[in-house]
């Protein structure tokens, strides 16, 4: 089964539109017959994406470092949860499982994970698509910066 790795916030953000977009993204991805690979959390936009995809009958695979799992933020209802030792292993595992990458609104962690995959694509390490869901122009300053 093809899968999309979704990077997004562990908080819901300041605008209800972010939560709506996360729910819609989870539903659309699942109804398109794609699995979701993500960080494995039950909270924030991450949890909303996972819950929406599961409710739509989708497959959701979480990848979480043991330190976060031990803080009890893991989603207990996933199709599969892989517990890894480090953040680096988490990112590599998600990259190996995914056929493409999508970033929704989020913070530094979301950007770091997305930028790594985008950089790997530019370097030819993979040829998987990388996209931003620009909810209410959330990524607009980044897009302006990139455009130079």
For residue 92 the two structure tokens come to 């590599």
Is a pLDDT exceeding 90 seen at residue 125?
Answer: yes
CATH number (domain holding residue 73): 3.40.50.450
- Per-residue pLDDT of 80-95, as tens digits, reads 999 999 999 999 999 9
| Backbone CA torsion sign across 18, 31, 121, 75 | positive
**Number of domain units in the chain:** 1
Query: CB neighbours (10 Å) of residue 134?
Result: 15
Owning domain of residue 117? 3-147
- Are 38 and 49 a contacting pair, CB within 8 Å? yes
- Per-residue pLDDT of 23-61, as tens digits, reads 999 999 999 999 999 999 999 999 999 999 999 999 999
**pTM reported for the whole predicted model:** 0.95
As a whole number of angstroms, the distance between CA 14 and CA 76 comes to: 26
As a whole number of angstroms, the distance between CA 71 and CA 75 comes to: 12
- pLDDT band at 69; cut points 50, 70, 90: confident
What is the structure's pLDDT at 70?
81
DSSP letters of 82-136? EEESSHHHHHHHHHHH-S-EEE-S--HHHHHHHHHHHHHHHTTS----EEE--GG
């Amino acid at each position: 089964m093809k899968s999309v790795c979704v990077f997004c916030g562990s908080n819901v953000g300041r605008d209800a539109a972010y939560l709506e977009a996360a729910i819609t993204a989870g539903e659309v991805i699942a109804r398109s017959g794609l699995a979701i690979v993500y960080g494995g959390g039950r909270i924030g936009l991450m949890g909303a994406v996972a819950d929406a995809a599961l409710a739509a009958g989708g497959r959701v695979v979480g990848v979480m470092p043991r330190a976060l799992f031990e803080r009890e933020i893991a989603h207990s209802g996933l199709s599969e949860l892989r517990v890894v030792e480090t953040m680096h292993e988490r990112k590599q595992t998600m990259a190996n499982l995914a056929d493409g990458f999508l970033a929704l609104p989020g913070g530094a962690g979301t950007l770091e994970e997305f930028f790594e995959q985008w950089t790997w694509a530019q370097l030819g390490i993979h040829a998987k698509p990388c996209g931003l869901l620009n909810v209410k122009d959330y990524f607009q300053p980044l897009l302006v910066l990139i455009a130079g």
